[in-house]
Structure 1
Amino acid sequence: MNLGDKIQNKAQELSGKAKEGLGDATDNRDLQAEGAGDQAEAGTRQAGEHIKDAAKDLKDGFGK
């Protein structure tokens, strides 16, 4: 996972937490759901990047 992807995913996760928190504070269900969705999407992207990293590490291990 490159640094740019990590930063983008973390920013999306934090933005989602903020949206969800604001939705909780204002009793706005749509904003809560949007925030939760942003967090889930960021988590999915992070998981995908971790899988790519693991596959690369495995491939590099066989090359030694």
Structure 2
Amino acid sequence: MSFTDKIKNKAENALGVAKEKTGQATGDRELQAEGKADQSKASLKDAGEKLKDAAANVKDALGGSKS
């Protein structure tokens, strides 16, 4: 996972937390749900990036990076 992707995912998650908390504080259930959705989206992206990294590591371990 690239550093840029990590930062983007963390920022998206943080924005989601902020939306959720703001929705809770103001009683805005739609904003609260949107915040939770943003957090879920960021988590899924993060999981996908980790899966790509793991696959690349397996490929390297099995000698997939021959020159």
2:49 equivalent to 1:49:
yes
Aligned to 2:27: 27
The one-letter code matched in structure 1 to 2:6 is: K
Unaligned runs of at least 5 residues, structure 2:
none
Aligned twin of 2:15: 15
If you compute each CA radius of gyration, which structure gives the higher value, 1 or 2? Answer: 2
Q: If the length of structure 2 is used for normalisation, what is the TM-score?
A: 0.93
Aligned residues: 64
Q: Distance in 1 between matches of 2:57 and 2:10?
A: 23
Q: What's the C-alpha RMSD, in Å, of the aligned pairs?
A: 1.0
Which stretches in structure 1 are left out of the alignment for 5+ residues? none
User: Which stretches of structure 1, 4 residues or more, deviate above 4 A after TM superposition?
Assistant: none
Q: Structure 1 or 2: larger helix share? A: 1
